[in-house]
Structure 1
């Protein structure tokens, strides 16, 4: 590899500045750990007070160390740490791991010093991790640039997992817990204050490193959107699962005019969009974080959602079936012919799916083998879970279970299979060697299989489609507040269909437009200073006579002048009354880190009360828009209910994609966009109302 983090994560020579002769001290722990782990590179302790440190020759300063140091550990006080880094840069040190705290996390003065560290990294090209971090390690290389207790938690040989965490303490916690769970990691990086190297850059390194197959990442927030997206894209393209725990809240930067999009973009909506877009699995707890990593390290991903559940307990079968539905897996019944054959094997068995082969398997374990093989042979399942409780641990059935699954694995090496069983590591290990992950809790087994299925889908679909360019006649983004009718002109120019309507300045003109439309109309006040018309009674519905339309014009003008005496009034919009279809809402919000994100959901109670919405970062293509549409809880409404015809999903997806392209191309000009409602018809779709808030007008 030629990645710039190579000298930090696979150094051939290490200097420990602030080295200690006491192995338990911060400056002594890395030396002790590397010596015990058999690190093959050069170790240079730096401390002017010693001639030798832990039986190694010591150096008074970094200037005295032989040239060609790949990585320096900085374990000195904050007041001299910055100068120490400068000295390292002057000596051509390629990277630095900075334990020292007392920077941006502590004070304004510390923040200024941290900016100096960033400057040193940029000027010299030396990669710096930290300050205020617990360090890094690479187990297979015996490289322990850390003062954490994590090396003492090592229980397994190094494997294919790469861990990266902004939090040092949590990173150490995850490593210890994952070792207990049987997760075999190799690389471990904590980024601390991220003066230079951040979580995204480490993910990028893992994506390119052939030794890493699965990435575990933890962060409170991100600063470099382009790097984050690039890193996650690289991991996805390399078919490496990224399991992410994102905690904390971010201000979406869109307190604009109480718009739906802004109010719904809260805490983590933009991060959810990021993760969905790049095929990242978001874990909510440490248990889930580690469980999914454990399952992924076996490297088998289902090609679809059809799951086969085999069980020795009918009750547990029900639990697994419920969990499968919860996690979106398809518990499809076995073919009738196969069910009949299974009944002949075990008359009292449940043979639909789950398959309950009952305790009869204790008397004749080969019946279980026949059940599973017949299911694999005759039914088209993508994955299999077998629940056996303590049967594999019993001295009466232990050897038979191992033999059965060895036979199954030999015949069907590519079937994606998990087991739920109760037993110590020596019972579990033989099945793991057969490439069968093992869990105690049957419902969590299903959750893990659902995660593998998710990654299987992500990897099979490959790169998303590129979004289409905007039409040549697309209008520029407004730089000042505009009224609804102007906002809809913008939308129409980019290919988002809008209602037939006209702006009028008199009752007579209103009547003429009503006559031209030839049916019931909606009338609305048009003013760039009145963004929420319903709050002042500025919308009138179902007007369908000359008298109603003329009086409606006068009513709207009167209400606007009374409610907002100083508002600029452009006139009244007379628009066709759209009937039928499904009300949806779409919009744009500008995140301070990731830029414009597009929101979609169903209208009415779904958005007002249930907040049933989803987001994506702009821009995106029609395929991603379809995935958005399929994510909302009320998705079935678009398929037609109570005899209503299905909605035109292609028209909806096209509009979402075009809105995303427009938002991306005008990211520096637009704060928010609301299109509410956007009515999806059996053929086509139409924007009924629209709001565009330019940058600087969010108050």
Structure 2
């Protein structure tokens, strides 16, 4: 048998066996054969059926052992118990890859899970790769290979193209394929991974990255089994400049962990997924419609890093809609330069020349004005994307043909720009514009959202090409067993270079008074207990303690409050700290996500952080450049940057602390479940950043 890599055998096999082949082209075992013959698959098809000599006009074979040659790939379309025997026989025969349609595995419970594990083991022993089980399979629309039982109604309408689809759901994958075909999207291949006993969504993305026929990747995911693997695949796609658009469903909270940590109460699974996908450059779509809109525009292959939108319209109202949508998506629509506006007014005195540029209804009387208008916008406004609102002009042949001719000349002069049109007309009319490089939408808001996504992709590609700041590296940190006090947490953090407010742990009132005298009044008193994480809620914090008498009495007050709030809590004393004046309160934290590992969080601090929820997340570890971008990205960043006469805070010090915290999360290993620094005082520029409170939650298991 000629050499073929197992993954390539799924995408481009030269031959395929169909185990459980049916002579009936409507049955699951018959559909792949009928579809391959209809789509012109050039390889050999070996039906395996012990009860027939011929299947759909092809010679059939009684068993896998009876095949005249070893096929590159195999389709398994028999019941679950027979599927295990079939996979064993295929592995022994040396088949590179198998697609298992059969259901009755992990999706049915514990017995099915055990059977699925046996299936995966049987394949892995020979190096054979497995798609499924319980999978709707895969189709290569360029070669005509069909390893799927998708209905003829779906596959017959698909146009070969450059968009690869990967879906964990078979039924939804088929729905998405049909919707893509209806939207005019050309498909290179589709993979529906099913139970993912072996091959996962990540493996399919890697395959599509290597596939020259695929330039845009569309994903549908319900649950991510291998977070690091998927992230590596997404990063490979970005390096290859293949945009990924993903519809990720399933939203949940971290449940009981939220009771232990401020960070956990803010960082939900879906928020983490959002952050990690954004880090990898993925555009996340919320609906099928949005996914297909973005994919359609992405097939043009133009991703402006500094995307600016220029709009030419025959309707002032449409211009308002687009302006509102662009502002909401932070898509810049800069005004046309004054000299360019003057030029347009000379061409048409009644126009509105700023941006959006409104030609008014005069366009109908004189369609020729559109060419110099758009040329001026692109030449002198420098817009990277041109959106044209021409509505029902597409219904008048004498208008749309002239519009297409003139816009095509503009595009030939500016081939590096994106062109999006809002146009009504027949399918043939709209296809004529699409074939000339214009992407046609019906809805303005959907068009603007897709345009904004192209800018996100462009910025991601550009960022990937730039070297980042070095990531701090720390030696492994051994977390103590049992709960940690605030003082213990800060000692560990100090060793990692994370500074705290000057403070001292005091076992009695007299030592607390001495510590306060050394720090200078006023001071802060906090109960010190490994069993009381949220001291404020237990009444365990006293601010502005102004003299020795108040320190002495405050010590007793804190002990009494702690006993009332948590009678069984261990009390180790009181923490006396210098009271910080003049800084801005922030919060930093770490939460371990079960899929993607430790995730860092930053936001404005204080007791209302959960209510305001103005936070940013990023996977650990990262350098100071990423940390500073995180800090500047929150809505409350102006409070740190000198808004309304406030002093500018020490952003550089804050970024160093956040970056070191991300390194600490890695060094502490999987036992670290969460870490809160709340508040962190961002001091005026040049005065640093100081953690005023720290809480670490570690897994008890070694």
User: Normalising to structure 1: TM-score of the pair?
Assistant: 0.96
Q: Mean Cα displacement is larger for which, 387-396 or 74-83?
A: 387-396
Determine the structure 2 residue equivalent to 1:582.
584
Deviations 1:174-208 (A, max 9, x none): 00001111111111000001111111110011112
Determine the structure 2 residue equivalent to 1:616.
618
Match of 1:152 among 136, 151, 154: 154
d(CA) in 2 for partners of 1:681 and 1:134? 58
Determine the structure 2 residue equivalent to 1:27.
29
Determine the structure 2 residue equivalent to 1:61.
63
Determine the structure 2 residue equivalent to 1:632.
634
1:290–1:337 Cα change, 3 Å? same
Deviations 1:487-545 (A, max 9, x none): 12222222222111111223332223223223421110111122121222110001122
d(CA) in 1 for partners of 2:171 and 2:411? 40
Determine the structure 1 residue equivalent to 2:571.
569
d(CA) in 2 for partners of 1:243 and 1:250? 21
Question: What are the residue-to-residue correspondences of 1:123-272 with 2, within 5 Å?
Answer: 123-149=125-151, 152-155=154-157, 157-249=159-251, 252=254, 255=257, 257-272=259-274
d(CA) in 2 for partners of 1:142 and 1:606? 58
Contact 1:599 1:615 in 2 (8 A): yes
Determine the structure 1 residue equivalent to 2:429.
427
Deviations 1:378-402 (A, max 9, x none): 1232322111112133123112101
Determine the structure 1 residue equivalent to 2:690.
686
Q: By how many angstroms is 1:606 displaced?
A: 5.7
Contact 1:484 1:689 in 2 (8 A): yes
Contact 1:67 1:91 in 2 (8 A): no
Question: What are the residue-to-residue correspondences of 1:3-82 with 2, within 5 Å?
Answer: 4-82=6-84
Q: Mean Cα displacement is larger for which, 95-104 or 218-227?
A: 218-227
Determine the structure 2 residue equivalent to 1:465.
468
Check if 1:501 corresponds to 2:503.
Answer: yes
> SS of the residue aligned with 1:396?
helix
1:493–1:116 Cα change, 3 Å? same
Contact 1:481 1:697 in 2 (8 A): no
Deviations 1:98-150 (A, max 9, x none): 11101111132111100111112221211111111111000110111111126
Q: By how many angstroms is 1:485 displaced?
A: 1.8
Match of 1:487 among 462, 486, 489: 489
Deviations 1:246-267 (A, max 9, x none): 1113564871643111122224
d(CA) in 1 for partners of 2:292 and 2:248? 14
Contact 1:99 1:132 in 2 (8 A): yes
Unaligned runs of at least 5 residues, structure 1: none
1:253–1:628 Cα change, 3 Å? farther
Match of 1:592 among 591, 594, 597: 594
> SS of the residue aligned with 1:204?
helix
Contact 1:101 1:131 in 2 (8 A): yes
Determine the structure 1 residue equivalent to 2:93.
91
Deviations 1:362-386 (A, max 9, x none): 1111212111111111123232211
Match of 2:320 among 312, 315, 318: 318
Contact 1:334 1:351 in 2 (8 A): yes
1:337–1:606 Cα change, 3 Å? farther
d(CA) in 1 for partners of 2:300 and 2:416? 12
Q: By how many angstroms is 1:644 displaced?
A: 1.0
Contact 2:507 2:572 in 1 (8 A): yes
Question: What are the residue-to-residue correspondences of 1:299-318 with 2, within 5 Å?
Answer: 299-318=301-320
d(CA) in 2 for partners of 1:599 and 1:479? 25
Contact 1:252 1:270 in 2 (8 A): no
d(CA) in 1 for partners of 2:5 and 2:323? 45
Deviations 1:385-432 (A, max 9, x none): 111112133123112101111110111111222112122332222322
1:420–1:635 Cα change, 3 Å? farther
> SS of the residue aligned with 1:159?
strand
Contact 1:150 1:176 in 2 (8 A): no
d(CA) in 2 for partners of 1:3 and 1:447? 40
1:388–1:581 Cα change, 3 Å? farther
Deviations 1:451-473 (A, max 9, x none): 0000000001115626433467x
Contact 2:528 2:574 in 1 (8 A): yes
d(CA) in 1 for partners of 2:159 and 2:93? 36
Check if 1:344 corresponds to 2:326.
Answer: no
Match of 1:378 among 377, 380, 385: 380
> SS of the residue aligned with 1:216?
strand
Q: By how many angstroms is 1:446 displaced?
A: 0.6
1:186–1:150 Cα change, 3 Å? farther
Q: By how many angstroms is 1:318 displaced?
A: 0.5
Match of 1:280 among 274, 279, 282: 282
d(CA) in 1 for partners of 2:584 and 2:680? 8
Contact 2:100 2:132 in 1 (8 A): yes
Deviations 1:210-267 (A, max 9, x none): 2211111111111122211210110111111111111113564871643111122224
d(CA) in 2 for partners of 1:610 and 1:98? 48
Contact 2:469 2:625 in 1 (8 A): no
Q: Mean Cα displacement is larger for which, 106-115 or 625-634?
A: 625-634
Q: Mean Cα displacement is larger for which, 670-679 or 249-258?
A: 249-258
Q: By how many angstroms is 1:345 displaced?
A: 1.7
Q: By how many angstroms is 1:640 displaced?
A: 2.9
Contact 1:3 1:205 in 2 (8 A): no
Q: By how many angstroms is 1:600 displaced?
A: 1.8
> SS of the residue aligned with 1:114?
helix
Q: By how many angstroms is 1:295 displaced?
A: 0.7
d(CA) in 2 for partners of 1:110 and 1:333? 63
1:603–1:383 Cα change, 3 Å? same
d(CA) in 1 for partners of 2:518 and 2:384? 58
Contact 2:140 2:146 in 1 (8 A): yes
d(CA) in 2 for partners of 1:440 and 1:196? 42
1:589–1:188 Cα change, 3 Å? same
User: Normalising to structure 2: TM-score of the pair?
Assistant: 0.95
Contact 1:154 1:179 in 2 (8 A): no
Q: By how many angstroms is 1:591 displaced?
A: 1.7
Q: By how many angstroms is 1:686 displaced?
A: 1.6
Q: By how many angstroms is 1:153 displaced?
A: 4.6
d(CA) in 1 for partners of 2:284 and 2:138? 23
